[in-house]
Amino acid sequence: MIASRRPLLSAGLALGMGMGGFVDGILFHQILQFHNMLSGRIPNTDYVGAKVNMVWDGFFHAGVWMLTAIGIALLWRAGRRRDADLSGRLFSGSLLIGWGLFNLVEGVIDHHLLQLHHVYEPAGLSVWDGLFLLWGAGMVAVGWWLCRRR
């Protein structure tokens, strides 16, 4: 019997996207305070701006929490299947692909198209936004390589 790669791949992609979102929100929004969800449109320079951005950061975190919860459920289902490939390489690769996809989608949509915020808001659209996309593409490439190897 050939083991199915799809169950673990789906779980890893969802978990990777959720984890990527949490790292973005916790590191860039909260710890470093480089940007907030809407800081490109509503500056975080007064009480009202800070409150609005905090609410939208909360919606963002709720979304990545949902992605993570879906990933956990998919991982649980994959672990219960007899035909599922449960390789650590496949799981690690799919986590990297998911995180990289998060960076690419969020970077293109929020940073470039909608300009809701930038990686380092005081600099506006800058090299930091390009590096964010490059980092995402690198994670997808390494993840793809890990998933393809037997």
As a whole number, mean pLDDT of residues 26-39 equals: 96
Question: How much is the pLDDT for 106?
Answer: 96
Q: State the Cα–Cα distance between residues 83 and 3, nearest whole angstrom.
A: 5
Instruction: Decide: helix, strand or coil at residue 4.
Output: strand
Whether the per-residue pLDDT at 61 is higher than 80: the answer is: yes
As a whole number, mean pLDDT of residues 29-45 equals: 95
The answer to whether residues 106 and 17 touch, using CB atoms and an 8 Å cutoff, is no
pTM value? 0.94
Task: Tokens for 5, please give them.
Answer: 């790669």
Q: State the Cα–Cα distance between residues 76 and 93, nearest whole angstrom.
A: 18
Q: Which residues pair with 84 in a beta bridge?
A: 4
Question: How much is the pLDDT for 36?
Answer: 96
Interval 104-150: pLDDT, tens = 999 999 999 999 999 999 999 999 999 999 999 999 999 999 999 76
As a whole number, mean pLDDT of residues 85-100 equals: 96
Question: How much is the pLDDT for 149?
Answer: 75
The answer to whether residues 53 and 42 touch, using CB atoms and an 8 Å cutoff, is yes
Question: How much is the pLDDT for 138?
Answer: 98
Question: How much is the pLDDT for 129?
Answer: 97
> 2 — phi, psi (to 5°)?
-90, 130
Buried b (16+ CB within 10 A) or exposed e, 39-73: bbebebeeeebeebbeebbeebbeebeebbebbee
Q: State the Cα–Cα distance between residues 135 and 54, nearest whole angstrom.
A: 26
Instruction: Decide: helix, strand or coil at residue 10.
Output: helix
Question: How much is the pLDDT for 150?
Answer: 67
